[in-house]
Amino acid sequence: MASITGMLANAIAVPYYGRRPKSPSPGGMAVECSSRPQKKATSHHMKTRPKKTQPWDVRRKGPTVYPPLPVLPPDWTLVSEEKGEAAAQRAEEAPATGAA
């Protein structure tokens, strides 16, 4: 889609034979604007996006929010990967040092 200035630069001067405008255009050219301008990208996507029409879909909201998990019992401990590897190494070394 070319810009208006690009179209005017490449336009051929055609005399204007219609009703004379109040202020004459330079070179006798008349610029016509589109009666149905096209929407730009975001406006087009917003207008033509799929609409929710089914009642179950219209009522559907965002993701379900669950309550936080309860506190772990004292005999359970949450171990991260790094701590788990270090604990595994200590467990392997402990019997070796105890036997010596």
Question: How many structural domains comprise the chain?
Answer: 1
Gyration radius from the chain CA atoms: 37
Question: So what's the pLDDT on residue 22?
Answer: 60
Asked whether residue 97 is domain-assigned, the answer is no
Asked whether residue 48 is domain-assigned, the answer is no
The pTM of the whole model exceeds 0.75: no
Average pLDDT over residues 34-57: 91
Asked whether residue 6 is domain-assigned, the answer is yes
- What are the distances in angstroms from CA 71 to CA 14, 32, 65, 75, 81? 83, 72, 18, 11, 20
Domain that holds residue 12: 1-32
Averaged pLDDT of the chain:
74
Asked whether residue 56 is domain-assigned, the answer is no
Asked whether residue 70 is domain-assigned, the answer is no
Asked whether residue 91 is domain-assigned, the answer is no
